Amino acid sequence: MPKHSKPTATFMSTPTPSQLRTNADLRQLQRTMAAALMQPLTRKDGLATSTQVDFITPNDRMSGFERLEIYARQYWFRLLDCLYDDYPALRVLLGERRFHQLCRDYLAQHPSTSWTLRNLGSALPAFLTEIKARDVARVEWAQTLAFDEALKKPLRIDDLLGSDPSTLHLGLQPCVVLLQIDHAVDHFITAMKKADADVRGSASQAMSEAPTRASIAKAPRLKRERVHLAVHRHDNTLYFKRLAPESFAMLAALRDGLTLADAIEVALAEASPDTDWPAQIRDWFTEFSQLGWFIKSPHKS
């Protein structure tokens, strides 16, 4: 759950220039208006009565306060909508009221700093302190990344033949996200989508729309379980793939720039001696290469 601190994006009253002669004047006016719009709405979704509005002209139907309030509501509702779209499973887990308050608290501390709304929820997983909620948020943010990160030219298994493992560096596709989590979030999301599709009568809508109130009312159970997960895109469809701890460790080490030999050493540091690891590693490489996960390393050639 969120850290219980006062929002930092509080409104500060600053004088606005009566005339705009310089770019600094324009910036001051824009700062004042942005601060007014981005301060948290009241409990009744209104603008705080203390808001400075002397830079807005009233008309015969609305005060300057009321006119500015239209923009404040638009700002908050648009950004809340975006988080609702990006974190449907977290919404199911927390329930409507808690999720809504979480989003408001998050946006108050993390106003958008990107030109694209796609990045709005990037800091939400780290904002959560409850592990269960954070695991769900991490997986949902990974889905956002896997959805539209680049798919680079994959290396084939033949490209790796004859390479020296002690010097070979491999990269991982940007659209493959590795996560170690303590809850079976993949099963939770799959069950949630099935329930949602049952409600809607169409599975095709489940990926892109927030759950309805009906499906929220009966959330699936989120089991506690250590899971090594890859969230990835294949043929422009998102998938979850559970990994063995050892293959997860190897992929993570390769992603982080270790050589193949070092990555395998890290992966098998505490592995059981009863397994035929050379055969197992060959199988992993065949599978991951077929999935197109390996690319030329961004770290070293």
CB of 138 or CB of 232, closer to other proteins:
232
Q: Find the binding residues for other proteins in span 10-29 (CB under 8 A).
A: 16-27, 29
Q: Is 165 in the site for other proteins (CB under 8 A)?
A: no
Of 60-68, 222-230, 272-280, 293-301, which segment contacts other proteins by CB under 8 A? 60-68
The residue from 1, 7, 71, 160 that contacts other proteins (CB under 8 A) is: 71
- What's phi and psi for 295, nearest 5 deg? -135, 175
Overall residue count recorded for the chain in this entry = 301
DSSP state of 275: S
The residue from 64, 154, 245, 257 that contacts other proteins (CB under 8 A) is: 64
The residue from 7, 40, 165, 174 that contacts other proteins (CB under 8 A) is: 174
Output the smallest distance, CB 115 to other proteins, in A.
4
Helix H or strand E encompassing 102? helix 96-109
Output the smallest distance, CB 280 to other proteins, in A.
31
SS3 at position 19? coil
C-alpha to C-alpha distances, 227 to 112, 139, 147, 184, nearest whole angstrom:
31, 11, 21, 6
Output the smallest distance, CB 19 to other proteins, in A.
6
User: Total binding residues for other proteins by CB under 8 A?
Assistant: 55
The residue from 5, 8, 150, 201 that contacts other proteins (CB under 8 A) is: 150
Q: Is 74 in the site for other proteins (CB under 8 A)?
A: yes
CB of 134 or CB of 233, closer to other proteins:
233
Q: Is 148 in the site for other proteins (CB under 8 A)?
A: yes
CB 186 within 8 A of CB 242: yes
CB of 1 or CB of 29, closer to other proteins:
29
State the amino acid at position 289 in one-letter form. S
Residue with tokens 């923009």: 71
Sign of the Cα pseudo-torsion (219, 137, 99, 127, in order) = positive
DSSP for 212-255, written as a single string: PHHHHTSPPP--EEEEEEEEEEETTEEEEEE--HHHHHHHHHHH
Q: Find the binding residues for other proteins in span 185-224 (CB under 8 A).
A: 208
To 10 degrees, the CA torsion angle through 280, 281, 284, 289? -150
Binding residues for other proteins, per CB under 8 A? 16-27, 29-31, 33-34, 37-38, 54-57, 59-62, 64, 66-68, 70-71, 74-75, 78-79, 111-118, 147-151, 174-175, 208, 233, 236
